[in-house]
Structure formats: C-alpha cells, structure tokens
Amino acid sequence: MAKVPEQQLHDDERRLRDELADLPEIAILHIIYQQKVYEGHAKDYEFSGTSMREHWQSGYEDTRRTLKRQEWMAMPPQGGGMLVHDVHRQED
C-alpha cells in the first residue's frame, strides 16, 4: 500500500496501512508433513503404529534439516516484515 498514492487511499485503507506498518518483524519456519507417494486418503485417519512411527520420523528429519539452516533462526532486519522459510520449498 506504500506504493499507492495517498490521494487514492480511502480512510479505512490509510488506517490499515498505518496498522500494518507497526507490526513487528516475524520469522516463520514451516515444518509441514509431506504426504508420501504411496499414502492415500487414509493418512488422515490411519493411526497404526507403523504409520505413526513413520510420521514421527519424517517430522524429526524435517526439524533437523530446518535447524541446520542457522540463517533461518535470525529475525528479519528492522522493517523487513514477515519472513517465511519452508524446508520443503528451499534447496539444501
């Protein structure tokens, strides 16, 4: 909204712009389970011991890979807003 000329903004948009400008810097680390090729729709309700151990192992490995990226642990620079990292979307 900073790129929109002031005269084109409505009062509500100006208020929103001012509120958003006051937000703190935020770093988000996505660690989201990635479905395996052989898993079907049952993954949402299939809680066998084998399945759970496999999911836990996947989460453990994703967490280790994420924590190895020390640069991801740093907060965005002042005024940098929100920064999102996803171990599944980044190259190693």
9-42 pLDDT per residue, tens = 999 999 998 888 778 888 999 988 888 888 878 7
The pLDDT of residue 90 is above 70: no
- The domain limits of the chain are 25-86
Closest by alpha carbon to 30, among 88, 76, 69?
88
The vertex-73 CA angle with 67 and 75, nearest 5°, equals: 165
| Mean pLDDT of all residues belonging to the chain | 87
Which DSSP string corresponds to 73-90?
GSPPPTT--EEEEETTTS
pLDDT given for residue 92 in this prediction: 47
Say what the pTM is.
0.63
Residue 87: count other Cβ atoms within 10 Å of its Cβ. 21
